[in-house]
């Protein structure tokens, strides 16, 4: 354990798998998410990620049907359609900004699957608004230190501006759904008719519906995009493993587009994703407030302490993992692989707050990877250094750009550096015009 003081907040970092289990699985009721996420009266403080106790249990139960295995498998058609559409403009020998492409693709997929909205024309706009909303390092520090200066140059001010844009969009969508005959049988409909867990006001309020939508859009794309991006980066560093994956894809798909059933027949793809999520967990740390004083291994932790559990640290701990920094998908082989102690691997969290979108994210990431490696061998610039940008999710600091090589080519095509330097992740394009066009479209 280590104690840090951030402003007035006492933060205790826990590093042992049994402590992860204690907090997430064995005693979740002792801990609160409220206040552990960035607090903002305009933010998603009524969303599933931030509510606690009975309300959390009831609302989670109300939306759970949208994430059952069979329903999620039904999302496969949309995942495939949008992935194939993305490939239409890609050609062998193109260089692609995969960071940007994956963010757009995953945002588009989650919007369509859960809310039946096609965002194809507004993607860069929304992507950028989410980028600003999900924060910068400065705004995360501002949050912990409780600094609130609302002007266009502070992280806080930028986040609020992005938040106002997203709010406007989401309230417009809710109003449209209310005004129309709801013919969709989607997650959005579930929210519109769902219960709040409050006997006084059994229906979800406008603000609660808004917060759920925002939470699912935000939590449901950036994480999965990063899972794909880091997988591609790792495979580019280990060509023999990449070939093994392509062999599996070739054998199972025989040239067809993947279905959910095919994905279930690809164990190596499963191990690749597990291993990428171990080395580069998109959710790299989780926070919890201590609700009631308690003692852990002889250390007294008073109510109000903020606990930090880090996937990044524990999933690379040499006391747990053999050669922890090595990308080794085989360690997930259920017969000959490594024994992983409970609590040592938790890319999707654990216990009653475990990621509700996990089956969706896994299917989506695997389908995108299978389709990508079926068509291409993406290569990175040999000089590319991803760097780390640990915000709410863990992104590469420098966008991942790949050269699309043919799958079965022996041709030595040299990577040409585009403009001489790799692009920084912060250089995503301006979003206002596209957002305005979205409102134009909706109103």
Q: Which of 194, 197, 220, 396 binds ligand HEM (CB under 6 A)?
A: 220
Q: Residues binding ligand HEM: what is the number (CB under 6 A)?
A: 24
Nearer to ligand HEM, 66 or 422 (CB): 66
396 binds ligand HEM (CB under 6 A): no
Q: Which of 253, 307, 355, 422 binds ligand HEM (CB under 6 A)?
A: 355
Nearer to ligand HEM, 49 or 370 (CB): 49
Distances (CA, A) of 384 to 151, 234, 423: 35, 12, 10
241 binds ligand HEM (CB under 6 A): no
* Cβ 282 vs Cβ 347: under 8 Å: yes
Nearer to ligand HEM, 283 or 403 (CB): 283
| Beta carbon of residue 171, minimum distance to ligand HEM (angstroms, whole number) | 20
Query: Which helix (H) or strand (E) element contains residue 222?
Result: helix 222-237
Q: Which residues contact 198 (CB under 8 A, 6 or more apart)?
A: 55
134 binds ligand HEM (CB under 6 A): no
Among the listed ranges 86-94, 190-198, 291-299, 348-356, the one in contact with ligand HEM (CB under 6 A) is 348-356
Q: What are residue 287's DSSP bridge partners?
A: 308
Q: Which of 360, 373, 376, 384 binds ligand HEM (CB under 6 A)?
A: 360
Nearer to ligand HEM, 252 or 356 (CB): 356
- Binding string, residues 49-68; x marks residues near ligand HEM by CB under 6 A: x----------x--------
Tell me the residue nearest to ligand HEM as measured from the CB.
357
Q: What are residue 63's DSSP bridge partners?
A: none
**Neighbour tally for 391: CB within 10 Å:** 16
| Beta carbon of residue 420, minimum distance to ligand HEM (angstroms, whole number) | 33
30 binds ligand HEM (CB under 6 A): no
197 binds ligand HEM (CB under 6 A): no
Nearer to ligand HEM, 163 or 227 (CB): 227
Q: Which of 17, 127, 349, 396 binds ligand HEM (CB under 6 A)?
A: 349
Nearer to ligand HEM, 62 or 129 (CB): 62
Among the listed ranges 69-77, 221-229, 326-334, 404-412, the one in contact with ligand HEM (CB under 6 A) is 221-229
Token pair 């394009």 in the structure block, residue = 429
Closest CA to 315 of 340, 335, 294: 340
Contacts of 10-13 with C-beta under 8 Å, sequence gap 24+, read 10/304, 10/305, 10/306, 11/305, 11/306, 11/307, 11/308, 12/301, 12/305, 12/306, 12/307, 12/308, 13/307, 13/308, 13/309, 13/310, 13/313
Q: Which of residues 273-292 bind ligand HEM (CB under 6 A)?
A: 282-283, 286
State the Cα–Cα distance between residues 172 and 298, nearest whole angstrom: 52
Q: Which residues contact 361 (CB under 8 A, 6 or more apart)?
A: 220, 223, 224, 227, 348, 355
Nearer to ligand HEM, 388 or 432 (CB): 388
Token pair 């969303």 in the structure block, residue = 47
Closest CA to 2 of 317, 278, 280, 299: 299
| Beta carbon of residue 209, minimum distance to ligand HEM (angstroms, whole number) | 14
272 binds ligand HEM (CB under 6 A): no
Among the listed ranges 238-246, 315-323, 334-342, 354-362, the one in contact with ligand HEM (CB under 6 A) is 354-362
Name the strands in the sheet holding 95-97, side by side, starting at the edge strand that comes first in the sequence: 95-97, 401-406, 376-380
Q: Which residues contact 435 (CB under 8 A, 6 or more apart)?
A: 122, 125, 126, 129, 165, 169
227 binds ligand HEM (CB under 6 A): yes
| Beta carbon of residue 63, minimum distance to ligand HEM (angstroms, whole number) | 8
State the Cα–Cα distance between residues 258 and 75, nearest whole angstrom: 12
Q: Which residues contact 419 (CB under 8 A, 6 or more apart)?
A: none
45 binds ligand HEM (CB under 6 A): no
Nearer to ligand HEM, 219 or 402 (CB): 219
Reduce the DSSP state of residue 89 to 3 states and report it: coil
- Helix residue ranges, H only, 285-431: 311-314, 358-375
356 binds ligand HEM (CB under 6 A): yes
127 binds ligand HEM (CB under 6 A): no
State the Cα–Cα distance between residues 119 and 104, nearest whole angstrom: 9
271 binds ligand HEM (CB under 6 A): no
233 binds ligand HEM (CB under 6 A): no
> Residues interacting with ligand HEM, by CB under 6 A?
33, 48-49, 60, 110, 215-216, 219-220, 223-224, 227, 282-283, 286, 347-349, 353, 355-357, 360-361
């Amino acid at each position: 354990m280590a104690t840090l003081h951030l402003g007035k907040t006492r933060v205790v970092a826990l590093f042992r798998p049994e402590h992860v289990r204690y907090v997430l699985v064995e005693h979740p009721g002792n801990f609160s998410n409220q206040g552990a996420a960035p607090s903002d009266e305009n933010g998603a403080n009524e969303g599933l990620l931030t509510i606690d106790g009975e309300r959390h249990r009831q609302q989670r139960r109300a939306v759970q049907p949208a994430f059952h295995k069979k329903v999620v498998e039904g999302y496969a058609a949309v995942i495939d359609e949008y992935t194939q559409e993305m490939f239409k403009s890609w050609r062998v020998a193109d260089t692609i900004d995969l960071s940007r492409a994956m963010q757009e693709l995953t945002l588009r997929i989650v919007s369509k699957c859960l809310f039946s909205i096609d965002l194809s024309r507004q993607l860069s706009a929304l992507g950028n608004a989410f980028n600003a909303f999900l924060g910068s390092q400065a705004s995360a520090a501002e949050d912990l230190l409780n600094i609130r200066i609302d002007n266009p140059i502070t992280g806080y001010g930028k986040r609020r501006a992005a938040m106002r844009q997203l709010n406007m969009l989401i309230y417009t969508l809710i109003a449209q759904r209310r005004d129309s005959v709801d013919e969709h049988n989607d997650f959005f409909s579930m929210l519109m008719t769902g219960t709040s867990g409050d006997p006084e006001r059994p229906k979800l309020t406008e603000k609660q519906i808004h917060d759920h939508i925002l939470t699912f859009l935000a939590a449901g794309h950036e994480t999965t995009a990063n899972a794909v991006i880091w997988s591609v980066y790792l495979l580019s560093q280990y060509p023999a493993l990449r070939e093994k994956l392509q062999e599996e894809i070739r054998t199972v798909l025989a040239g067809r587009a993947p279905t959910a059933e095919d994905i279930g027949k690809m164990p190596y793809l499963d191990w690749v994703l597990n291993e990428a999520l171990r080395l580069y967990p998109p959710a790299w740390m989780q926070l919890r407030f201590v609700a009631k004083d308690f003692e852990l291994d002889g250390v007294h932790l008073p109510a109000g302490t903020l606990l930090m559990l880090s996937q990044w640290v524990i999933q690379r701990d040499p006391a747990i993992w053999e050669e922890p920094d090595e990308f080794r998908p085989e360690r997930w082989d259920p017969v000959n692989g490594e024994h992983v102690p409970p609590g040592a691997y938790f890319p999707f969290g654990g216990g009653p707050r475990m990621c509700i979108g996990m089956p969706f994210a896994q299917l989506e990431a695997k389908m995108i990877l299978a389709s990508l490696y079926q068509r291409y061998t993406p290569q990175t610039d040999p000089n590319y250094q991803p760097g780390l940008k640990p915000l709410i999710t863990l992104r590469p600091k420098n966008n991942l750009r790949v050269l699309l090589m043919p799958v079965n080519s022996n041709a030595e095509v040299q990577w040409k550096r585009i403009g001489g330097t790799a692009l920084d992740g912060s250089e995503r394009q301006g979003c206002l015009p596209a957002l305005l066009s979205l409102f134009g479209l909706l109103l």
